Structure 1
Amino acid sequence: MVLRRLSVLAGALITALVLTAPAALAHTTLQSSDPAEGAALSAAPQQVSLKFGGAFTLPAEPIRITGPDGAQWTVGAATVTDRTVTAPVQPSGPAGAYVLTWSIVAADGDPITGRINFSLTTPASTPSPSTAPSSAAPAPPTTQALQAAESSGGGFPVWAWVVIAVVVVAGTVAVIVRGRRSSS
């Protein structure tokens, strides 16, 4: 009887833990981008932005843009503000399909990459030197990304879920063992 109750209690605790854990264990995901996936732009953007749902850091060269015939855009230093990565770009290349490739490092250390496909309906023109985006940033991107991750309240940390799970399992085992000893 006691063992049955403990089993039900352990099952309920594990179920509660599993149901509340997915948000904490899920990786950071891309929530929105500018340009958006599948967008057909009549003019090339002067900057790109990517908004993510969780804490992250930036690796070196987190954004690349390639187009028809291997055309490469010059991407300036990326900055992070409130989980949004923004980078100035110098577009160049013909009208056609382009791919923005991004990469970040999730708070748990796993690298995450993705692609955004968009197109230009007119050729990209290179801006004059006076309007070209600056490649200088106030601080290295990794430092800014770490600050954003620390100040953004990245949710309940994964290590805390692990500690809770260990405590629940250890407590359940202790109660079962104690129940068996008292019934003997």
Structure 2
Amino acid sequence: MTALRRLVATALLITAMAMGGTAVAWAHAVRVSADPAPDATLATAPTRITATFNERLQGDFAAMTVVGPDGNLWSDGTPQVQGATVSVGVRPLGPAGSYTVNYRVTSADGHVVSGSWAFTMTVAGSGSPGPSATASTPSADRALPVWPFIVGAVAVIALGVIWSRLRRT
């Protein structure tokens, strides 16, 4: 009967630990505002693009680009992270049309959050674009591969099974 009690106590402890530890993992950053606002229609070009999140961001590895209707980059410089805000400078804009802001930031818990929004310029500007956006837009292509974690998990499980079998003999 004591073995059954130990098994139940262990199962309850593991369940309590799993339930208690998941709240942090679910608390990823969420964009709460942007300047210019999503779907905004502007007659004058902004000099800076800003996204604000519901929690502090890590400053490492932040990416933010502005891609114009011509497919070129219109963002200028390195994204700046201050608390819960990430921003990037903008070149004087060029053609009228839809500009897409792409971002990738790391939330306080280490989770990578990415997304985009668009705004429209109604009046063409005289700015010169940066390089083509296809090679510079933040993407998931540079994310960590999942296979090393799967191999590691399989190895840990295999070692546990081997250890438990050796312990029985």
TM-score range normalised by the length of the shorter chain: 0.5 to 0.7
**Conserved? CA contact 2:57–2:81, under 8 Å:** no
Gaps of 5+ in 1: 128-184
Q: What per-residue deviation string (whole Å, max 9, x for no partner) do you get for residues 138-164 of structure 1?
A: xxxxxxxxxxxxxxxxxxxxxxxxxxx
Structure 2 alignment gaps of length 5 or more:
128-169
Q: How far apart are residue 99 of structure 1 and its match?
A: 1.6
TM-score by length of structure 1 reads: 0.52
Equivalent-residue separation in structure 2 for 1:49 and 1:73 (angstroms): 14
Partner deviation per Cα, 1:86-138 (whole Å, 9 max, x = no partner): 2232241333222212233566777x3623121214135368xxxxxxxxxxx
Q: Contact 1:64 / 1:73 at 8 angstroms: preserved in 2?
A: yes
Q: Which residue of 2 aligns with 1:57?
A: 59
| Greater relative contact order (CA < 8 Å, ≥ 6 in sequence) | 1
Question: When the two structures are superposed, what TM-score results if normalisation uses the length of structure 2?
Answer: 0.56
State whether residues 57 and 107 of structure 1, in contact with CA within 8 Å, keep that contact through their aligned partners in structure 2. no
RMSD value, Cα:
3.2
1:96 and 2:97 correspond: yes
2:81 aligned residue: 80
Aligned residue pairs total: 125
- Determine what percentage of the aligned residue pairs are the same residue: 29
**Is the CA contact 2:57–2:83 (under 8 Å) kept in the aligned structure 1?**
no
Separation in 2 of the partners of 1:13 and 1:36? 49
SS in 1 for 2:123: coil
Give the corresponding residue for 2:2: 2
In structure 1, how many angstroms separate the alpha carbons of the residues matched to 2:92 and 2:114? 20
- Matched to 1:51, the amino acid is T
Specify the code of the residue in structure 2 equivalent to 1:12. Answer: L
- In structure 1, what is the equivalent of residue 46 of structure 2? 45
